[in-house]
Amino acid sequence: MKEFKGRPVSEAIGKDIREKLSSVETMLGRKPRLAIIRCGEKPSDLTYEKNAARRIREFGMEAESFVFPEDVSDNIFLRSFNALNEDKRIDGILLMRPLPPQLNEGFIISCIDSEKDVDGISPVNAAGLYLGTEGFAPCTAQAVMELLHYYKVELPGKNVVVIGRSNVVGKPLSMLLLKEDATVTICHSRTKDLEKVTKKADILISAIGRARAITSDHIKKGAIVIDVGINTDREGRLCGDVDYEDCKLKAGAITPVPGGVGAVTTAILAKHLFEAANKDLL
Ligand code: NAP
Q: What is the mean pLDDT of residues 52-61?
A: 97
Whole-angstrom distance, CA of residue 259 vs CA of residue 244: 13
Count of structural domains, the chain: 2
* CB of 168 sitting under 6 A from ligand 1: yes
pLDDT at residue 203, as a whole number: 98
- Is there a domain that residue 1 lies in? no
- Is there a domain that residue 224 lies in? yes
Q: How confident is the model at residue 25 (pLDDT cuts 50, 70, 90)?
A: very high
- Residue 25: helix, strand or coil by DSSP? helix
Tens digit of each residue's pLDDT (9 = 90 or more) over 151-194 = 999 999 999 999 999 999 999 999 999 999 999 999 999 999 99
pLDDT at residue 134, as a whole number: 86
Q: Which helix (H) or strand (E) holds 258?
A: none
> Are residues 243 and 209 both part of a single domain?
yes
Cβ partners under 8 Å of residue 146, min gap 6: 9, 13, 264, 267, 268
Upper half-sphere CA count for residue 265 (Cβ side, 13 Å):
24
> Are residues 248 and 168 both part of a single domain?
yes
- Is there a domain that residue 72 lies in? yes
Q: Residue 68 sits in a domain of what CATH number? A: 3.40.50.10860
- Is there a domain that residue 214 lies in? yes
> Are residues 144 and 247 both part of a single domain?
yes
The answer, yes or no, to whether the previous bond of 101 is cis (omega within 30 of 0) is no
> Are residues 150 and 106 both part of a single domain?
no
Cβ partners under 8 Å of residue 232, min gap 6: 211, 238, 239
Q: What is the mean pLDDT of residues 245-262?
A: 97
For the CA of 264, the closest atom of ligand 1 is 40
- Is there a domain that residue 94 lies in? yes
> Are residues 238 and 150 both part of a single domain?
yes
* CB of 32 sitting under 6 A from ligand 1: no
Q: Which residues of 13-48 are buried (b: 16+ CB within 10 A; e: fewer)?
A: bbeebeeebeebeeebeeebbbbbbbbeeeeebeeb
**Residue 184 domain boundaries:** 139-262
pLDDT at residue 60, as a whole number: 97
Q: Which pTM was predicted?
A: 0.97
Q: Over pLDDT 90: what percentage of the chain? A: 98
Q: Share the mean pLDDT of the chain.
A: 96
Q: Residue 172 sits in a domain of what CATH number? A: 3.40.50.720
Q: Which residues of 181-199 are buried (b: 16+ CB within 10 A; e: fewer)?
A: ebbbbbbeeeeeebeebbb
pLDDT at residue 282, as a whole number: 54
- Is there a domain that residue 23 lies in? no
Whole-angstrom distance, CA of residue 239 vs CA of residue 165: 20
Q: How confident is the model at residue 227 (pLDDT cuts 50, 70, 90)?
A: very high
pLDDT at residue 279, as a whole number: 82
> Are residues 152 and 105 both part of a single domain?
no
- Is there a domain that residue 12 lies in? no
β-bridge pairing 92-95 and 231-232: unpaired
Q: Using the mean position of ligand 1's atoms as its centre, give its distance from the Cα of residue 97 in Å.
A: 15
Q: Classify residue 237 as exposed, middle or buried by CB count within 10 Å of its CB (0-12, 13-18, 19+).
A: exposed
The pLDDT of residue 280 is above 70: no
- Is there a domain that residue 52 lies in? yes
β-bridge pairing 238-239 and 231-232: antiparallel
Q: Which of 42, 190, 230 to mutate to test the pocket of ligand 1 (most atoms within 8 A of CB)?
A: 230
> Are residues 244 and 151 both part of a single domain?
yes
Closest-CA residue, ligand 1 atom 8, reads: 164
Tens digit of each residue's pLDDT (9 = 90 or more) over 73-121 = 999 999 999 999 999 999 999 999 999 999 999 999 999 999 999 999 9
For the CA of 190, the closest atom of ligand 1 is 47
> Are residues 258 and 151 both part of a single domain?
yes
Could you say which of 113, 148, 173 is where a domain stops?
113
> Are residues 258 and 144 both part of a single domain?
yes
The pLDDT of residue 139 is above 80: yes
C-alpha Rg value of the chain to the nearest Å: 19
